[in-house]
Structure formats: structure tokens, C-alpha cells
Structure 1
């Protein structure tokens, strides 16, 4: 008999459960559509084209949630606070970032459980990037 013992079955990662690369690329693309039009956030992205930032963020989220390790392979450890240190991230920037992310998350057809898990992480991450009073 070729039955696989129950305790050897591997659970799917969050990345796989929500649809993998396509889901994260859509999510991040929608987020950056909002950032592109935001007078507070747009200046924090010095590149004329938001494409490179979008790519980095998509790769980071994919890796964080159990997808390929492409982000670390190309950029090393995420060091999120260090990478954001050159920018003044205050409460207004935090709120604007979450506003655009809320739109992007809500447009994805995720289960309530997945949406909540993702949103909890994003709100935690946004709060941890604040480095300036105000």
C-alpha cells in the first residue's frame, strides 16, 4: 500500500493558500497605484518609476508569507527599519500607507481569515516603520 502517513503531509503556506505570486503582485500593484497619486507618500519614492519599489515590495511580501526567497537572494536580510530610516515616516505617512493598502487588500478576493491575517501583519509593519513624531 502506498498511503502517505498523515503526519508527513505538509501544510500549504499562506502564500500558496491565497493564490501565490499573482495575488501578491496584484495586491502590491494596486497599492502603488494609490501611492503614485499620494502627495505625502510619492516623494518618499525617489525613483521616477515606481516599478522597482513595487517589485521589491512584492518580492518581500511573497517571501515573508512563504513564497520564493528571491528577495533575500537579491537584497539580503530585509532590515525594514534600516531601509526606511532615510525617510521621515510619521503618523500621517503611516495612515496614508494603510489607506492605500486597505484598498488593495479589500480588492483581493481573500477569505475573511486570510484578509484578517494579512491586515494584522500590515498594520503591525506600518506601525513599526514610524520613526518621526507627528
Structure 2
């Protein structure tokens, strides 16, 4: 009997969100919630007015991050997340907003608690690194 793939192995996480189509829907939901939910709106206001490219970049990044094709590198070149966000001030508040908004998007899209319990702590690592670099940069 074949067991289900474990999140984080191969592209199991990407497949758990429904492949690229599911990931696109998740990211679009994430940005819609960010735009239209007062608690997350400060994050939305940190982005360019036209979020189409921003959405495409996050889908491309998360595709590779979730074990799928490395679309970001293929389309945009190498990324170093902290430097890509260096122009922003990211404190614990913005980090928490980002993670809470992603949690809300996962809920709205109907993903399992098991997937959320895996994904959100994993997303906290890059979010924390972005916060750390922002803190150092803005204290100079």
C-alpha cells in the first residue's frame, strides 16, 4: 500500500495546494484578503498599485519553495528574499500580519488543518529572516 507523500518531500506540498492552479488561487486569495481586510491593508499598501506582477512573483517563488518547478529563477533570475524586501520596514507586526493573512487565505481556500500546521511554521522562517534583515538595515 502506497502512503501519501509527506509535506516537504518532493513536490508534495505543491500538490497538496492543488498544483500551480491551486497555488495561483491561494496567492490571489491572499492578496485579495490583504487588500480588503483592514487588519492586513497596511501590508497591501507596501506593494505596487498593480499587484499582477507581485502575485506572479509570489506564485513563481512558492512553486519552487514547495518543491515544484523553480519558476522564479527561470523567469526573474536568482532571488535573495531579504534583499528583495530591503526597501520595506518589516517588524514583528508586519511579519505577523503576513502570516495571519496567509492563514486566512488557506482557510478561505478550504485547505486542511494538517496542511496549515505544516505550511505556516515553514513560512515563518523566510518571514523571520526578512524581519531580521529589515531590523538591521533600519537600525543603521
For the Cα contact (< 8 Å) 1:41–1:97, is it kept in 2?
A: yes
Aligned counterpart, 1:16: 15
Structure 2 length-normalised TM:
0.76
Aligned counterpart, 1:110: 111
Q: Report the count of equivalent residues.
A: 123
* TM-aligned CA deviation for residue 128 of structure 1: 1.7
| CA RMSD, 1 decimal | 2.2
CA distance in 2, matches of 1:108, 1:123: 20
Aligned counterpart, 1:8: none
For the Cα contact (< 8 Å) 1:29–1:54, is it kept in 2?
A: yes
5 Å-filtered alignment, 1:65-104, equals 65-104=66-105
Aligned counterpart, 1:28: 27
SS in 2 for 1:95: helix
Structure 1 length-normalised TM:
0.79
* TM-aligned CA deviation for residue 114 of structure 1: 2.5
The unaligned stretches of length 5 or more in structure 2 are: 1-8
| Rg larger for | 1
The unaligned stretches of length 5 or more in structure 1 are: 1-10
For the Cα contact (< 8 Å) 1:36–1:50, is it kept in 2?
A: no
SS in 1 for 2:45: helix
Aligned counterpart, 1:42: 44
CA distance in 2, matches of 1:12, 1:80: 22
* TM-aligned CA deviation for residue 35 of structure 1: 2.1
Aligned counterpart, 2:6: none
For the Cα contact (< 8 Å) 1:34–1:100, is it kept in 2?
A: yes
